[in-house]
Amino acid sequence: MGNLQLIIPRDIYLQLTAYLEVCSIEFSTLIDADYDEKRGAFVLGKIYLLEQEATGSTVELDDDAVDKFNFQMIKAGATQLPRCWMHSHANFKAFFSPTDENTIKSFQNESFNVALVMNKAHELKAKAYIKATMLGKEDYVEIDDLPVYIEYNDEAVLALATSEIAEKVKTPKLVPLAGGYAAGWHNDSGLGNSGSNHDSSDFRSLPRTKALAKNFIEQNNLEERYDFSLKESVYVSPLTGITYYDDECVLID
């Protein structure tokens, strides 16, 4: 299965965080989960909030409510029951307690089950158990610290974001610094070096101790660039266009 992750579609994430916002104590839900082989990910689906008893530090689903829910799902033709158990830790850290681990294992089945814990600070933690054959024996492989990705599946939001980023976020165009011996690069966005021709006086050495060189770079707001002819970094003043190079290699660790 490679590097697995848990994908939470944006609308599902918003629904879960809305529950967190309005509920002052712990709560838990069951959530549909499928494995997307192409993306190598578990993907969450519909959320089911069942009857339960909870406090600020514990939550327990009502067994009768769970049995009734499972019966109704099967009667309606479901071929798979929800495979994700999510619960909140309200104002506590997001982690899996020993009690949580026992609950997670109670949901184990013939393929996989996923667990998710969230809190009001929007911290979250996920894990999964996958049925596997190990050493000729049926067992479960535990995937701890399962990476979580919030999928922004709102096409309108994505389209607007794509348009604004393309319009307003630009990468500077790098062109060669004019001049001879230490020709490097400057950005052509109108900031910094003007691109005018330079003579040898435009290239100078940095101070010859590491501390002094770093202090000089900081005080003069020098910008680090890579010089392809020297095959090393040089430091350019955005005000004067003067290029400083580390001829004593004092900045190389």
**How many structural domains compose the chain?**
2
Q: Name the residue with tokens 């020993």.
A: 98
Check whether residue 98 and residue 51 sit in a common domain.
Answer: yes
The tens-digit pLDDT sequence of the chain (253 residues) is 568 999 999 999 999 999 999 999 999 999 999 999 999 999 999 999 999 988 888 888 888 988 999 999 999 999 899 999 999 999 999 999 999 999 998 888 888 999 999 999 999 999 999 987 644 556 888 999 999 999 987 787 778 888 888 887 776 554 444 443 344 444 444 433 433 344 445 778 888 888 888 888 988 888 888 877 777 888 888 888 888 888 767 676 6
Is the CB of residue 121 less than 8 Å from the CB of residue 90? no
Does the residue 166 lie in any domain? no
Q: What's residue 170's pLDDT?
A: 72
Does the residue 12 lie in any domain? yes
Check whether residue 179 and residue 152 sit in a common domain.
Answer: no
Check whether residue 26 and residue 125 sit in a common domain.
Answer: yes
Q: What's residue 180's pLDDT?
A: 39
Which structural domain range is residue 209 located in? 174-245
Check whether residue 109 and residue 196 sit in a common domain.
Answer: no
Q: What is the C-alpha to C-alpha distance for residues 119 and 17, in angstroms, rounded to an integer?
A: 9
Give the single-character DSSP code of 206. Answer: P
Check whether residue 147 and residue 192 sit in a common domain.
Answer: no
Is the CB of residue 166 less than 8 Å from the CB of residue 208? no
Check whether residue 97 and residue 198 sit in a common domain.
Answer: no
| Full DSSP string of 212-233 | HHHHHHHHTTPEEEEETTTTEE
Check whether residue 137 and residue 24 sit in a common domain.
Answer: yes
Report the CATH number that the domain containing residue 139 is assigned in CATH. Answer: 3.40.140.10
Instruction: Report which of 120, 90, 127, 116 is spatially closest to residue 30, judged by C-alpha positions.
Output: 116
Check whether residue 178 and residue 138 sit in a common domain.
Answer: no
Check whether residue 13 and residue 94 sit in a common domain.
Answer: yes
Q: Considering only the C-alpha atoms of the chain, give the largest distance between any 2 of them, rounded to a whole number of Å.
A: 86
Task: Say whether 247 sits in a helix, a strand or coil.
Answer: coil
Check whether residue 103 and residue 57 sit in a common domain.
Answer: yes
| Dihedral pair phi/psi, residue 56, rounded to 5° | -70, -10
Check whether residue 145 and residue 180 sit in a common domain.
Answer: no
Task: Say whether 13 sits in a helix, a strand or coil.
Answer: helix
Task: Say whether 154 sits in a helix, a strand or coil.
Answer: coil
Q: What is the C-alpha to C-alpha distance for residues 107 and 152, in angstroms, rounded to an integer?
A: 28
